[in-house]
Amino acid sequence: MSRLIQIKKHPFPSLLYLEWTLLAITVLTAVIPPPLRQFRHKMPELSICGVFPDLSVCNILPQLSIYSLIIFALMGLRLPRSNQIIKVLYTAIEILMILMTGLFGERYARLFPFLYIILVTRSCLIFHLPGRLLVTTLSFTLFLFTTQLKYQLFNFQASPQAQERSRFLSLNWSLGFGLSLVFVLLMMNAVLSERHSREKLAIANEKLRQYAMRIENQATLEERNRIAREIHDSLGHSLTALNLQLETALKLWQSNPIKAETFLATAKELGSKALKDVRQSVSTMRSNPLQDQSLERAIASLSENFHRSNGILPIYQINIEYSLPPEINTAIYRITQESLTNISKYAKATEIKLELTTTRGNLRLIIQDNGRGFDLGQNTTGFGLHSMRDRTLALGGEFNINSTPGSGCKITVNIPLTRLT
């Protein structure tokens, strides 16, 4: 059994309020004054004691039915959740309480069908669909049995006209009650299905949020590691060499000013290179590297910067037939930028070719150089190559790299554009 239900935490507070309303209506019929004497012959008592008031147990059964109604109401404060046997036993006790209320109650026994509606709503909260159908069918069957039994007892002492009227009322009442049960079952199934879908969506959203946070944290960590390596490999090296040049110039300033001046000039060049490295790192860290310019213009700017820094002008050919989404533009820009950075640092190339084209729903980027190349089995775990591969795979593309020592390097990126065609 589950713990006591809290109204604010109840899955359907409105159903709990409806249940209490139906129970209150049923209880009120036990305390309101009986009908006027002239209308009693039109409204016969439908309980056993109402038909046979001289039975010796009729003084006890009404009180027992009241206790049954109270127990049934209190059972709604605890609903079984896990154990199937307890669920079946719980439902069987509920049915027993309803039968006692319907058969042995007096005035309020007329409203006992409301209890079957409550039974069906509770079964929808504790059973799956087969159990709900079974409880609904059993409720209607027991309702028919109870109603027919009471009206047959009433017909023993009723006139033929009253018997005909009772059969007609019984048929209409049974049909209406059956339709009510079906409506309640369908409504509860729809509400529960919608609630289950919302819960699944909430769980999926939470998992997606957690996954996005992990990806963001991982990306942040990788970016920090990349910046640390950039500072160590480029800026750190330049500043270390600059410091050595300045120290040597200071030592030679008195004894050999001409040679010291040469070291100072070299230190100035190293300072300029360090400043260029800082600017390049800042440019790399920009969240919107294209800054509202087209991809063609952004790649042209990268080529011009590479030419100013290395004295080599990349040969590039760009033929884009589609308007690309921002995420693809950014990925292509970063891949191109990282490739040119690697060529500048390690390749010692004299010729660089860059080709960017879109054909048949596919975007292809080829970056090739005639540098010294490297062994793919030993140098494919660097941050730059790893970052380019991750950017490509994130867009559902393919990343390939071909290189051998002394034969340059060729990077090929294919990204599908089927959603844009």
On the question of pLDDT at 53 being above 70, the answer is no
Contacts of 177 (CB under 8 A, 6+ apart): 113, 116, 140, 143
Task: Of 105-119, 123-137, 216-230, 309-323, give the lowest mean pLDDT range.
Answer: 105-119
Which residues does 4 contact at the CB level (< 8 Å), separation at least 6? 77, 78
Residue 343 has pLDDT above 80, yes or no: yes
Q: Say whether pLDDT at 385 is over 60.
A: yes
Of residues 234 and 415, the one with the higher pLDDT is 415
pLDDT at 146: 76
pTM of the predicted structure, to 2 decimals: 0.46
The confidence score (pLDDT) of residue 237 equals 65
Beta bridge partners of 365: 356, 413
- pLDDT 10s digits, 256-276: 888 888 888 888 888 887 887
- How far apart are alpha carbons 23 and 64 in whole angstroms? 16
- Mean pLDDT score, 306-319: 87
Percent of the chain surpassing pLDDT 70: 74
Q: Tell me: the pLDDT tens digits for 324-340?
A: 888 898 889 889 988 98
Structure tokens at 248: 């040597």
Looking at residue 13, its pLDDT comes to 63
CB 333 within 8 A of CB 311: no
Q: Which of 48-52, 187-191, 412-416 has the highest mean pLDDT?
A: 412-416
Query: What was the pLDDT predicted at 22?
Result: 67
Q: Which of 19-23, 46-50, 196-200 is the most confident on average? A: 196-200
Q: Across all residues in the chain, what is the average pLDDT?
A: 78
- 184 forms beta bridges with none
Angle between helices 257-285 and 160-230 (to 10 degrees): 170
Hey, what domains does the chain have and what are their CATH numbers? 7-158 (no CATH), 290-421 (3.30.565.10)
pLDDT of residue 353: 95
Q: Which two tokens stand for residue 55?
A: 């039975």
* Higher-pLDDT residue of 130, 381: 130
* Mean per-residue pLDDT, 77-93: 86
pLDDT of residue 196: 86
Banded pLDDT at 415 (limits 50, 70, 90): very high
Confidence (pLDDT) at 225: 74
Residue 145 has pLDDT above 70, yes or no: yes
63 contacts: CB under 8 Å, gap ≥ 6:
none
> What is the per-residue DSSP string for 340-355?
HHHIIIII--S-EEEE
**What is the number of residues in the chain?**
421
**Tens digits of residue pLDDT in 163-222:** 677 677 777 778 888 898 899 889 888 888 888 898 899 999 999 888 888 887 887 787
Residue 399 has pLDDT above 90, yes or no: yes
Q: Does the structure show a pLDDT above 70 at 83? A: yes
